[in-house]
Amino acid sequence: MSESELEDETAPACCAPLTGQVMAEAEAVELSRVFKALADPVRLRLLNLIASHEGGEACVCDLTGPFELTGPTISHHLKVLRQARLIEGERRGTWVYYRAVPEALSRLSGLFALPELTPA
């Protein structure tokens, strides 16, 4: 997937449960981008650190310590999470503060919902 496709802000909102209707191609592309972002252990841990941080947001300065990675590498992983719309960042002075996007996490959790079983 190209960098321009990753940055496309007009991508459709995602996603219906996997057990529901047949998924449209655009929805599958959007969902695969999210799964690719989460498939990396560093990014998965970063998302977890951000989402579980006190107050629901974390300064980038708090995110580098738990990893044996350089600042630019952490920044790259944060960029991928932003492009997948899993986190948002806000610059405050010299630091950027990140927070998980609750709607994105809820959307992902709904993907694996099983249809309600109705008694016959």
Domain positions in the chain: 22-111
User: Left (φ > 0), alpha (ψ -120 to 50) or beta: where does 93 sit?
Assistant: left
Give pLDDT tens digits for 33-82.
999 999 999 999 999 999 999 988 999 999 988 999 999 999 999 999 99
* CATH class assigned to 22-111: mainly alpha
Give the mean pLDDT of the chain: 81
- Half-sphere exposure (CA, 13 Å, Cβ side) for 1? 16
Query: 23 pLDDT band (50/70/90 cuts)?
Result: confident
The Cα-based distances of 76 to 13, 32, 73, 88, 108 in angstroms read: 24, 19, 5, 14, 22
SS3 92: strand
> Can you tell me which residue has the tokens 């998302």?
47
